């Protein structure tokens, strides 16, 4: 039998029937499984000890194992997870300002093929897509981490490694497990899918009717600048991705987020800000400015504080809702764009100091 993270209610119903158990328990079992952060420890009486034992016997070993856990002073926790084929991915938990809450950031691929010049995740190219279960397990790791700090995971963003639109079927399958009301992990609206701007993917996500949020990594409002830092702009230029974001907003009634990584001397001038303001005119979306987080081997600099403030003010003057994203997790390379896959886990060992894992984790 597949792992519970790979089953939806109909799938589990089939498995239960085949094993001679009442299929009607399926939804209840899955809801319970997610409510208990993916553990099979305690089961309510009505499910019965026989099913519980059977489930425990059937459940295969997890698809992800906690390899290293790193915590930065601001409370951000980065988990390096090893996959069954020896690859590794990173997933990040950020405590929210509101007490009792935390936000999670998951990867959708091992590596990334997009080649954005300022992002570490793309350095070794794309290795492979993550399977739905590998994405769901990241969510469960984050839930457990959140619980360990007395917080609840209340939002999940696909802003880790990879381009979610290039693995959209598996991302959607994972979102169904994480946010399907029948299973009750998170709500649809607590999930954000971030894309570099793959137009057919944005439309497909709208078609999927999931009610999730969209974030678009724009980074420049003109094609010349954008093509220089986001190579996929040659395929899907600014006008096309913005049109897709507008279609998404019209169809889903969700307000998209436009992400803009500020790179000193590249896209942070007042002229760039004015171009962005013009592009955003009449479009109900939020702009998120992300001052560049340093990555090894790239020749960029974070903008001066003054440039960031000027950029912000220019957009505010044009009545655009805009925020500057606070950098989290920088000392442990867990900030935006710093996540990367490592060909060998050993490579990582001297850099990251293992700290006590979560109870129950190996």
- Catalytic residue selected from 105, 261, 314, 336: 336
The reply to whether 322 sits near ligand SAH by the rule CB under 6 A is no
Q: How far apart are the first and last CA of the chain?
A: 23
- Contacting residues for 43 by C-beta, under 8 A, at least 6 apart: 32, 49, 51, 52, 55
Q: Is 90 a catalytic residue?
A: yes
Choosing from 94, 290, 307, 332, the residue that interacts with ligand SAH (CB under 6 A) is: 290
The total number of residues shown for the chain amounts to 362
Residues 240, 199 contacting (CB under 8 angstroms)? yes
Nearer to ligand SAH by Cβ, of 196 and 210: the residue is 196
Name the minimum Å distance from CB 14 to ligand SAH: 34
Q: Is 119 a catalytic residue?
A: no
Residues 184, 36 contacting (CB under 8 angstroms)? no
Q: State which residue has the least CB distance to ligand SAH.
A: 337
Choosing from 26, 81, 202, 295, the residue that interacts with ligand SAH (CB under 6 A) is: 295
Within 10 angstroms of residue 21's Cβ, the number of other Cβ atoms is: 19
The reply to whether 292 sits near ligand SAH by the rule CB under 6 A is yes
The reply to whether 175 sits near ligand SAH by the rule CB under 6 A is no
The reply to whether 155 sits near ligand SAH by the rule CB under 6 A is no
Residues 268, 260 contacting (CB under 8 angstroms)? no
Name the minimum Å distance from CB 291 to ligand SAH: 7
Least Cα distance to 119 among 319, 315, 296 occurs for: 296
Site string for ligand SAH, 16-45 (x = CB under 6 A): ------------------------------
Stretch that binds ligand SAH, among 8-16, 143-151, 193-201, 308-316 (CB under 6 A): 193-201
Output the CA–CA distances (angstroms, integers) from residue 251 to 259, 279, 306, in the order listed.
20, 20, 38
- Catalytic residue selected from 90, 134, 145, 259: 90
On the 0-12 / 13-18 / 19+ scale of CB atoms within 10 A, 38 is buried
Residue with tokens 């089961």: 43
Residues that bind ligand SAH (CB under 6 A): 114, 116, 118-119, 159, 163, 194-196, 217, 259, 261, 290, 292-293, 295, 336-337
Catalytically active residues are 90, 336
């Amino acid at each position: 039998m597949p792992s519970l993270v790979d089953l939806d209610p109909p799938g589990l119903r089939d498995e239960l029937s085949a094993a001679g158990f009442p299929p009607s328990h399926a939804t209840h079992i899955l809801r319970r499984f997610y409510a208990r952060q993916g553990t099979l420890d305690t089961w309510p009486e009505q499910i019965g000890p026989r099913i519980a034992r059977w489930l425990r016997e059937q459940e295969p070993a997890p698809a992800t194992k906690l390899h290293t856990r790193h915590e930065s002073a601001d409370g951000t926790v980065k988990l390096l997870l090893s996959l069954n084929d020896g690859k590794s991915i990173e997933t990040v938990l950020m405590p929210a300002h509101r007490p009792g809450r935390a936000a999670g950031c998951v990867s959708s691929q091992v590596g990334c093929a997009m080649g954005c010049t300022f992002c570490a995740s793309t350095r070794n190219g794309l290795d492979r897509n993550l399977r739905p279960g590998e994405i769901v397990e990241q969510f469960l790791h984050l839930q457990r981490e959140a619980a360990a700090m007395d917080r609840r995971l209340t939002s999940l963003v696909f802003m880790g490694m990879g381009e979610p639109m290039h693995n959209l079927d598996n991302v959607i399958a994972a979102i169904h497990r994480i946010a399907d009301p029948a299973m009750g992990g998170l709500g649809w609206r607590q999930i954000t899918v971030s894309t570099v701007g793959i137009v057919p993917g944005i439309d497909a996500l709208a078609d999927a009717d999931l009610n999730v949020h969209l974030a678009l990594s724009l980074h420049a409002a003109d094609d010349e600048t954008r093509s220089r830092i986001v190579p996929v702009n040659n395929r899907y230029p600014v006008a096309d991705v913005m049109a897709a974001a507008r279609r998404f907003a019209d169809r889903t009634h969700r307000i998209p987020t436009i992400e803009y990584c500020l790179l000193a001397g590249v896209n942070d001038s007042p002229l760039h800000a004015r171009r962005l303001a013009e592009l955003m005119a009449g479009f109900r979306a939020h702009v998120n400015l992300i001052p560049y987080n340093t990555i090894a081997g790239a020749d960029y600099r974070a903008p001066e504080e003054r440039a960031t403030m000027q950029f912000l003010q220019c957009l505010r003057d044009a009545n655009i809702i805009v925020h500057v994203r606070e950098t989290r997790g920088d000392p442990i390379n867990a900030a935006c764009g710093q996540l990367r896959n490592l060909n060998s886990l050993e490579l990582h060992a001297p850099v990251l100091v293992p700290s006590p894992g979560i109870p129950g984790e190996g």
